[in-house]
Structure 1
């Protein structure tokens, strides 16, 4: 019975972690666009956006990432045999990439808090989609538990990535017209 509670907590913290990752990059976009505004607008927007990003990052996203790891290891302690299975090794590889993404977001967060950042809002929009691709890869691997299906999954992820990039470009075109 304890296993189900631990697994449920692991899933809950995965959800809150992803929510934080999705929203923090959206805040990065707003912070970046704020830097291009007149000083009078920056003086109002920047402190508010910085505060929102700070609270999201340190009160939701970081704790969720840590608790996801703790409960994930705890879940695995009930199923050590999974570590020998190719699907789990691939899933953990994607999880490692997700933590690398998280640390890269931390670097972006620090730079934006200082008002010093060189990426454009379009680049940040594309960066935001990396977590979506990782989410798809991780969920499909853990649900399907089949590495052969992963080949088709990778083809699907590439297709999804291309569709998202086209959507970003279309959005940028529409936005520039307005």
Structure 2
């Protein structure tokens, strides 16, 4: 199935007639691949930050070994996986919009782009935390980074539901679903902390 055939399954969205159409499915596949690897990096980075905060509370002999290793893991994760995936995912996403600019006239796509903007802000803030940890001057708690870790989860849920359900989802129900998910995630964090303190 080529790019021309694809759009007969997407509610008759008009499409520019140029050479890029034939490669739309390949571009979409690469976009999804790099978005997945990008989110993998965003999910794991706050976990490494949690481990770094907890390592700083260990005896000096242990922390002197653990902290440099975790900082090295953070550096590799950010520079080798997270940032390249973000750039490539963005490039392929822009190519999709260039091939089919009529998507920008869809309300679900505009809302999705708002969440992409929020993801960009989340990325910048995570980068600042990352630099602070490498410099050894981040004073935030492990609990904060457990909560911070769920920010990417909420954005991922929003983007996926918007991309799959498109115009069939009402924005009010979507927002209620996100708030419900946020509540469940925070509840899970509190239960985890309670059980850890109880068993620790």
Deviation at 1:80, TM superposition (A): 0.4
Q: Name the structure 1 match of 2:73.
A: 52
Preserved CA contact (<8 Å) 1:87 1:141: yes
Q: In the comparison of the two structures, how many residue pairs are matched? A: 178
RMSD between superposed Cα atoms in Å: 1.0
In structure 2, C-alpha distance between the alignment counterparts of 1:75 and 1:117, rounded to whole Å: 39
In structure 2, C-alpha distance between the alignment counterparts of 1:91 and 1:118, rounded to whole Å: 33
SS in 1 for 2:170: helix
In structure 2, C-alpha distance between the alignment counterparts of 1:25 and 1:132, rounded to whole Å: 12
Deviation at 1:60, TM superposition (A): 0.2
SS in 2 for 1:37: coil
SS in 2 for 1:71: helix
Deviation at 1:148, TM superposition (A): 4.8
2:183 to 156, 162, 172: 162
Preserved CA contact (<8 Å) 1:32 1:112: no
Moved more, 150-159 or 162-171: 150-159
Q: Are residues 1:102 and 2:123 paired?
A: yes
SS in 2 for 1:145: helix
For structure 1, which runs of at least 5 residues remain unmatched after alignment? Answer: none
Deviation at 1:49, TM superposition (A): 0.2
Q: Tell me which structure has the larger Cα radius of gyration.
A: 2
Q: Name the structure 2 match of 1:41.
A: 62
In structure 2, C-alpha distance between the alignment counterparts of 1:68 and 1:148, rounded to whole Å: 25
2:48 to 12, 17, 27: 27
Deviation at 1:34, TM superposition (A): 1.3
Q: Name the structure 2 match of 1:68.
A: 89
Q: Name the structure 2 match of 1:134.
A: 155
Preserved CA contact (<8 Å) 1:17 1:60: yes
Q: C-alpha offsets along residues 120-147 of structure 1, whole Å, 9 cap, x if unaligned?
A: 1001000000100000000111111127
Q: Give the TM-score of the pair, scaled to structure 2.
A: 0.86
Q: C-alpha offsets along residues 6-46 of structure 1, whole Å, 9 cap, x if unaligned?
A: 11000000000000000111111111111222211111001
Distance 1:147 1:36, change over 3 A: farther
Moved more, 35-44 or 146-155: 146-155
Preserved CA contact (<8 Å) 2:162 2:169: no
For structure 2, which runs of at least 5 residues remain unmatched after alignment? Answer: 1-21
